[in-house]
Structure 1
Amino acid sequence: MMTNNQASETSPSSLLPPRLVRLTASTEDDLECSLHYLPKPLMREFGHVFNDQYLKFVDQAGDSPLRLLAIPTNQRAREDLVAVGDHIEREKDRLLNVFIAFGKYLCEQLRAMGYWADYIDPCSGLPMISLNCNKVYSEVDGMECLLNYKAYNAGFCKILTHPRWGSAVYPATIFAHAPSDIVKSLIESLPSGENA
């Protein structure tokens, strides 16, 4: 669960504050996950990355207005990811696999209901499902905008700092064009993570 300090750091676009969830109760791989309307500062970047891919999907129910949603996730790394070495690369691979399973699950659930959803490959910054997209999404910029998390420059890289985990954090984002109550229910149906 969030502390009071973290709650005040969420943006006005927040629909569900950050919470620790797991894909299944049997795993120990937690993701900090929240839900937001896509705010204006990210709309332009979203448009560059996805074009109008989401408009190819229509609201099957016809009773809920669809809005673009962002589902930022952060994982606590076992290592400070600013460091280098084979052990850091193995940890990044582990975190990538956890996120891909999570992103694939959420997107498949939403797409099965007739809604558009896609997730960003944290390694390339490119969408995983939408084709013909060649613009890169900045996870760090997204986390700054959506969650007010801080970042700093290290050479040519921008490093995200989580309020509790520092730079031992692995950010990745899912996007959806779906009713917020459906996405919120889907996230809330997941098992709670440790310390939730």
Structure 2
Amino acid sequence: MAADNPSFDTSSTLLPPRLVRMDQSTDDDLECSLHYLPKPLMREFGHVFNEEYLQSTAADLSTTSSGENLRLLAIPTNQRAREDLVAVGDHIEQEKDRLLNVFISFGKYICEQIRLKGYWADYIDPCSGLPMISLNCNKVYSEVDGMECLLNYKSYNAGFCKILTHPKWGSAVYPATIFAHAPVDVVKGLIESLPRGATA
């Protein structure tokens, strides 16, 4: 069935992209959505994390004692950059640092909230492509490939780099991903509880 909005894959999408922020005191918005891991991304996830998500005590069974189904979930985030990130210069590096700090705060908060409920969660360092919490993992996750798979966003090659293009923001976009092994309702409720970002 064709989706009204072709920018995301309805087969895996639990929450379509929405702008959220950590709290009302900031205007640092992140585009955020929630997805089941589709098969191509499941292979990538296994390559990066192996079975780290099964090491947590609540996550070693497919269901919890209360009967909740645990699923592998992806929370892709994209931030609109103030500069085209394909460009070079000190101001571009400063903007990347700003975007990194926004995501690290967001990723840490989301993972802490999920882990406090007894489930597994981790987020990817956008600089290295490595997990931030599962420290014994050394395989790199491709944010661009993940955004293509989950959201149907496009990319292009620039030299040795693969550049993501956002349907509204072009290459002025900063992608980063959070993963969880948890009941859908827990993660969905957490995202829906976040303040909405600006609509413009």
TM range (shorter): over 0.9
- What is the aligned partner in structure 1 of residue 133 from structure 2? 129
Residue deviations 1:135-165 (CA, integer Å, cap 9, x gap): 0000000000000000000000000000000
Counterpart amino acid of residue 29 in structure 1: D
| Structure 1, unaligned runs of 5 or more | none
SS at match of 2:67: coil
The match for 1:10 among 4, 8, 14 is: 8
**Per-residue deviation at 1:56?**
1.3
The farther-off stretch of 186-195 and 52-61 is 52-61
C-alpha change, 1:61 and 1:73, in structure 2 (3 Å) is: farther
8 Å contact from structure 2 (residues 122, 134) kept in 1: yes
SS at match of 2:6: helix
Count of residues in Structure 1 that have an aligned counterpart in Structure 2:
192
Is residue 74 of structure 1 aligned with residue 72 of structure 2? no
TM-score by length of 2: 0.93
TM-score by length of 1: 0.95
Take 1:35 and 1:73, find their aligned partners in 2: how far apart are those partners?
A: 9
C-alpha change, 1:61 and 1:191, in structure 2 (3 Å) is: farther
| Structure 2, unaligned runs of 5 or more | none
**Per-residue deviation at 1:61?**
4.9
Is residue 98 of structure 1 aligned with residue 102 of structure 2? yes
Is residue 19 of structure 1 aligned with residue 18 of structure 2? yes
Is residue 111 of structure 1 aligned with residue 115 of structure 2? yes
The farther-off stretch of 61-70 and 98-107 is 61-70
- Aligned identity (percent) is 80
Runs of 4 or more consecutive aligned structure 1 residues displaced over 2 Å after TM superposition? 59-62
Residue deviations 1:52-91 (CA, integer Å, cap 9, x gap): 0001122555321111000000000000000000000000
SS at match of 2:74: strand
Residue deviations 1:114-146 (CA, integer Å, cap 9, x gap): 000000000000000002100000000000000
